[in-house]
Amino acid sequence: MAYCNPSSDQKLDEMASMEVGSDKDVKVHVFSSSSELIEKLHEKWSPVKKKPYPAMYSSVFGGIILDPAMMVIPIDDHMVHRGHGVFDTAVILDGYLYELDAHLDRFLRSASKARITLPFPRSTLLSILVQLTAASQCKEGTLRYWLSAGPGNFLLSPAKCPTSAFYAVVIADVVSQCKNGVKVITSTIPMKAPQFATMKNVNYLPNVLSIMEAEDKGAYASIWVDDDGFIAEGPNVNVAFITNDKELIFPSFDRILSGCTAKRLLELAPKLVKQGRLKSVKTANLTVMEAKGAAEIMYIGSTLPILPIIMWDEQPIGDGKVGELTMALSDLLWHDMVAGPNTHRICVPY
């Protein structure tokens, strides 16, 4: 039972009145015209010489936007106020889109699970993304895209939204191999239930809190452990382990996001088995004790693509240095990104 403290309540009322009083002189500006608002939007970007977002597509506008000040989405979009949306990404490297088809397939699976209908067929979505990248003139960075239940109202149900909405943006950034190791922690933030963890949806608050928790402890990121005590994934990456017997093990994908880069590595890694450097490649359930006893550990994700982990919960992994096999896997994946088959790389027609 809660007890009321009159003196405490009085103090809170006094503080509230002081805060309100301090804002009496604040006058909120009312934009009298769209031209005035647009001028205000441009103020942020006018001093920026190199735009970090060279192009955006919006199905709401019906085209590609090159002005970053105009790269906006409606406030009544259900992705904004209800989190009803899914997204995915692809790397742009040397003028090629890497693994876009695989990412787009996962995007469509996520949309189906989220019960969002497509505004266009898959072929049109693919064409839009390639044309957007070409219009951006960006040769290195990432392509990110979202499917929303759409704008229309502030209700919980999307039933009265006229149509779903598709957005995409090109982000200019450096893409390179990661050769230095990082520290990680075991996350105490509850992970998503499998129904939501296996779709790439925009509800990323657990992921955000998980990485903030890691940063608070001086670590790069974290690793989730599921309710059964098995290793799951990182906040926005997969994780893989090399045992002392030289087995490469990925946690099973049935309760976590099926990483496109991780699955591509599963296809490439047997090359090291043929060379005798790895014993085997597989997916399996790993306990925390088994995982921390690994010789090498790595994060795997589209923009990394492989990031060595050298310390976990202040415990060194292996000898505490970046592992030789981790870098061999990194080299395999990097070569695939810069010179792999055309089935995995789309040449952008700039």
pLDDT at 49: 87
Question: Is the pLDDT at 318 greater than 70, yes or no?
Answer: yes
pLDDT by residue (tens digit) across 45-93? 989 888 899 999 999 999 999 999 999 999 999 999 999 999 999 999 9
Angle at 122 between CA 263 and CA 151, to 5 degrees: 105
- Residues near 122 by Cβ (< 8 Å), separated by ≥ 6? 104, 108
Question: Is the pLDDT at 309 greater than 60, yes or no?
Answer: yes
**Residue 79: exposed, middle, or buried by beta-carbon count in 10 A (0-12, 13-18, 19+)?**
buried
Using DSSP's 3-state secondary structure scheme, residue 205 falls into: helix
**What is the fold of 182-339?**
D-amino Acid Aminotransferase; Chain A, domain 2 (3.20.10)
For 292-306, what is the mean pLDDT?
A: 97
Query: Among 16-25, 98-107, 114-123, whose mean pLDDT is lowest?
Result: 16-25
Q: Mean pLDDT for the chain? A: 93
Residue ranges of domains in the chain: 50-172, 182-339
Question: Is the pLDDT at 205 greater than 50, yes or no?
Answer: yes
Distance CA 121, CA 112 (A): 13
Residues annotated catalytic, as ranges: 200
Distance CA 134, CA 343 (A): 19
Long-range Cβ contacts of 53-56 (<8 Å, 24+ apart): 53/169, 53/170, 53/171, 53/172, 54/136, 54/137, 54/138, 54/170, 54/172, 55/132, 55/133, 55/135, 55/136, 55/138, 55/169, 55/170, 56/132, 56/167, 56/168, 56/169, 56/170
pLDDT by residue (tens digit) across 261-290? 999 999 999 999 999 999 999 999 999 999
Distance CA 45, CA 92 (A): 24
CATH architecture entry for 50-172: 2-Layer Sandwich (3.30)
Q: Which amino acid appears at position 327 of this protein? A: M
In which band, very low, low, confident or very high, does the pLDDT at 11 lie, cut at 50, 70 and 90? very low
Measured between alpha carbons, how far is residue 249 from residues 22, 96, 202 in Å? Answer: 59, 29, 28
Query: What predicted TM-score, i.e. pTM, was given to this entire model?
Result: 0.91
Q: Which two tokens stand for residue 276?
A: 């005798």
Question: Is the pLDDT at 8 greater than 50, yes or no?
Answer: no
For 315-342, what is the mean pLDDT?
A: 97
pLDDT at 249: 98
Distance CA 103, CA 87 (A): 10
